[in-house]
Structure 1
Amino acid sequence: MRMVFRWFGEGNDTVSLGQIKQIPGVEGIVWALHDIPAGEAWPMERIREVHNQAAKFNLHLDVVESVNVHEDIKLGLSTRDQYIQNYITTMERLAQVGVKVICYNFMPVFDWTRTELHKKMNDGSTALFFEKSRIDGIDPFTFVEQINQNSTLTMPGWEPERLSHLTSLFEAYKDVSSEDLWGHLAYFLKAVVPAAERLGIQMAIHPDDPPWPIFGLPRIMTSQENLRRLLALVDSPSNGITLCSGSLGANPDNDIIAMIHEFHDRIPFAHIRNVRVYDNGDFIETSHRTQDGTVDITGIVKAYHDHSFSGYARPDHGRHLWGEECRPGYGLYDRALGIMYLWGLWDALERIQPMDRKEGIV
């Protein structure tokens, strides 16, 4: 397991590279050029700028999250071919600085969705929270206004320039079914996966978060069955999964451990985090500790260890602790604590059964 840490860039993150470097076992950053609109090719000089910043701390850039997919590709419009070519151009430039994994998603309009960014927990910390009844009873335009009032930092997947076209986006998706979206994803992958193979890059799709339709928009990366279908669209090691235990874990019917056992050789990147799911469908993001949530983090780490997982992993959304002012879900303290919890599990498993002496799955 190769530990990495998401970083939003100089001037766009409350966490510094110097702080990241001090977290034991972290070898690289998970990054992106968040100010480049979806569909535009990333400038090589900007890519090299981030490379040089990370190199000063001996941190690699192996994982990018995300090179966002333009809505015209998801909608299957005639303009998608140019945006796909721009995507491939970006991939070619990323390969020049050693990028090996590109995490992306195929969620229409919205990225991850929460109803509250600082829900107070019993211990005094705050966390991202999803209240199902609130989503069911609010129109998306009001919801976007409320979310954008909560933070001065850019929220990944909630960029203002994209959401300013919300009315036209909803109109465009009005007649797009789940099967249509599957077809548009297949078209995209059949174009970019050969380029990924040539460049030594693995494409790794992120599950929908949460894993069910939002505001009537189709969502298709929601279950083990759907991930299986995704991998079959283009059967290549360069067509893979970012397995996010928190996103998929919001639906208790998802067996994440079974997914790891089935897809382990197609998971180049893992997001490991916990959520507590309530009977009414609400969920809140907790510490990474297994006992604090509904997701079996201990079992998940063991499943990766069983398969000698050598891909990249990062702690995902953390709580906001000790008065830290940060991008919601992306502070320093709880993610650093999460890393040490994950390393503790991994190191204990290594003591019990070192990977180089294992004889198959335990």
Structure 2
Amino acid sequence: MKMVFRWYGTGNDTVTLKQIKQIPGVEGIVWALHDVPVGDEWPMDKILAYKEEADAYGLHLEVVESVNVHEDIKLGLPSRDVYIDNYKKTIEKLATVGVKTICYNFMPVFDWIRTDLFKELPDGSTALFYEKAKVESMDPEELVRRIANDVDFTMPGWEPERLKKLSPLFEAYKQVSEEGLWRNLQYFLEAIIPVAERNGIQMAIHPDDPPWPIFGLPRIITGQDNIRRLLRLVDSPSNGVTLCSGSLGANPANDIPAMAREFAGRIPFAHIRNVRVFDNGDFIETSHRTSDGTVNIAGFVQALHETGFTGYARPDHGRHIWDEKCRPGYGLYDRALGIMYLWGVWDSMGTSRKGVAE
């Protein structure tokens, strides 16, 4: 397991590379060019600027999250080929700086949904929270005002310029069924996977967050059956999945350790976080400790270890603790604590498998 840490860049993150470097076992950053509009080809000078900063601290850039997919591709519009061509060129550029894995998603309109970014937990910490009844009764425009307009940092997946066109987007998606979205995903993968293969890059789709339809929009990466279908769309080692325990774990029916075992070899990237799911469908993010949430985090890490996982892993969203002022879900302290919990589980499995634990 190669531990990495998501970083949003100088001036866009309260966490510094110096701090990341001091977390035991972290060897690289998970990054993206958040100021490049979705669908544009990434400029080489900006890519190299990121590399220069990471190199100064001995951190690699092998995981990108995300090269976001333009809505025209998801919608299957004639203009999609222009954006797919830009995507191919970006893959080729990223390979030149050592990128090995690109995490992306195929969620219509919203990359993730929460109703409260700082919901208080019983211990006084705060965390990202999803209130099911509120989402079911809320207008999408109201959700955008809550999430995208009152924060000090960029919010990937919630770009204000794109969401200004919310009504036309919803109207366009009325013509796209789940099967239509599957066809559009296949078209995208058949175009980019050969480019990824030639450049030694694994594409790793992120599951839908949460893993069920929202506001009438189709969602297709929600559990074990459709991950299985995804991997068959283009049967290539470069077509993989980012196995996210928090996104999938919002549905208690999803067995994350079982997925880790079934899809071993096709998981280049793991997002490891815990959520507590309530009987009414609400969920809140917790510490990474298994007993604090609903997801079997220890079992997930053990399954990765037992199957010889040598991919990348990062602690996903953490709580906001010790009065830290930070990007929602992406403070330093709780994610660093999470890493040490994950390493504790991993190290407890021993070093009997060559190359698994170092």
Indicate the SS of the match to 1:118: strand
Indicate the SS of the match to 2:265: helix
Indicate the SS of the match to 2:264: helix
The equivalent of 2:64 in structure 1 is 64
Length, aligned pairs only:
356
Determine whether 1:356 maps to 2:320.
no
- Is contact 2:148-2:159 (8 Å) kept? no
Q: Deviations over 1:259-284 (max 9, x none)?
A: 11100110000001100000000000
Determine whether 1:125 maps to 2:125.
yes
Cα distance between partner residues in 2 of 1:202 and 1:186? 16
The equivalent of 1:306 in structure 2 is 306
- Is contact 1:72-1:80 (8 Å) kept? yes
Determine whether 1:31 maps to 2:45.
no
The equivalent of 2:212 in structure 1 is 212
Cα distance between partner residues in 2 of 1:87 and 1:151? 29
Amino acid at match of 2:82: Q
Determine whether 1:75 maps to 2:75.
yes
Following TM superposition, by how much is the alpha carbon of 1:147 offset from its aligned partner in structure 2, in angstroms? 1.5
Structure 2: gaps of 5 or more residues: none
Indicate the SS of the match to 2:152: coil
Following TM superposition, by how much is the alpha carbon of 1:155 offset from its aligned partner in structure 2, in angstroms? 1.1
1:209-288 → structure 2 map (5 Å cutoff): 209-288=209-288
Following TM superposition, by how much is the alpha carbon of 1:289 offset from its aligned partner in structure 2, in angstroms? 0.3
Amino acid at match of 1:229: R
Cα distance between partner residues in 1 of 2:4 and 2:66? 15
Cα distance between partner residues in 2 of 1:132 and 1:150? 21
The equivalent of 1:145 in structure 2 is 145
Amino acid at match of 1:89: K
The equivalent of 1:347 in structure 2 is 347
Cα distance between partner residues in 1 of 2:355 and 2:223? 33
The equivalent of 1:170 in structure 2 is 170
Amino acid at match of 2:293: G
Q: Deviations over 1:165-199 (max 9, x none)?
A: 11111111112100000000000000000000000
- Is contact 2:126-2:320 (8 Å) kept? yes
Q: Which runs of 4+ in 1 moved over 6 A?
A: none
Indicate the SS of the match to 1:355: coil
Amino acid at match of 2:288: H
Amino acid at match of 2:204: A
Following TM superposition, by how much is the alpha carbon of 1:357 offset from its aligned partner in structure 2, in angstroms? 9.7
Indicate the SS of the match to 1:48: helix
- Is contact 2:289-2:297 (8 Å) kept? yes
Following TM superposition, by how much is the alpha carbon of 1:141 offset from its aligned partner in structure 2, in angstroms? 0.6
Determine whether 1:12 maps to 2:27.
no
- Is contact 2:101-2:201 (8 Å) kept? yes
Q: Mean alpha-carbon deviation: is it higher for 255-264 or for 200-209?
A: 255-264
Q: Deviations over 1:197-249 (max 9, x none)?
A: 00000000000000001110000000100000000000000000000000000
- Is contact 1:12-1:153 (8 Å) kept? yes
Amino acid at match of 1:173: Y
Scaled by the length of structure 2, the TM-score of the pair is 0.98
Amino acid at match of 1:14: T
Cα distance between partner residues in 1 of 2:208 and 2:10? 28
The equivalent of 2:49 in structure 1 is 49
- Is contact 1:276-1:294 (8 Å) kept? yes
Cα distance between partner residues in 1 of 2:14 and 2:354? 39
The equivalent of 2:179 in structure 1 is 179
Following TM superposition, by how much is the alpha carbon of 1:157 offset from its aligned partner in structure 2, in angstroms? 0.8
The equivalent of 1:136 in structure 2 is 136
Scaled by the length of structure 1, the TM-score of the pair is 0.97
Cα distance between partner residues in 2 of 1:169 and 1:183? 18
Indicate the SS of the match to 2:229: helix
Following TM superposition, by how much is the alpha carbon of 1:356 offset from its aligned partner in structure 2, in angstroms? 2.3
Indicate the SS of the match to 2:318: coil
Cα distance between partner residues in 2 of 1:82 and 1:158? 22
Cα distance between partner residues in 2 of 1:239 and 1:38? 21
Percent identity, aligned pairs only? 70
Q: Deviations over 1:9-33 (max 9, x none)?
A: 1111010000000000000000000
Amino acid at match of 1:171: E
Cα distance between partner residues in 1 of 2:148 and 2:314? 26
Cα distance between partner residues in 1 of 2:353 and 2:339? 20
Cα distance between partner residues in 1 of 2:180 and 2:60? 38
- Is contact 1:117-1:150 (8 Å) kept? no
Indicate the SS of the match to 1:27: strand
Cα distance between partner residues in 2 of 1:199 and 1:347? 33
Following TM superposition, by how much is the alpha carbon of 1:113 offset from its aligned partner in structure 2, in angstroms? 0.4
Cα distance between partner residues in 2 of 1:175 and 1:195? 30
- Is contact 1:273-1:297 (8 Å) kept? yes
- Is contact 1:275-1:293 (8 Å) kept? yes
Following TM superposition, by how much is the alpha carbon of 1:149 offset from its aligned partner in structure 2, in angstroms? 3.8
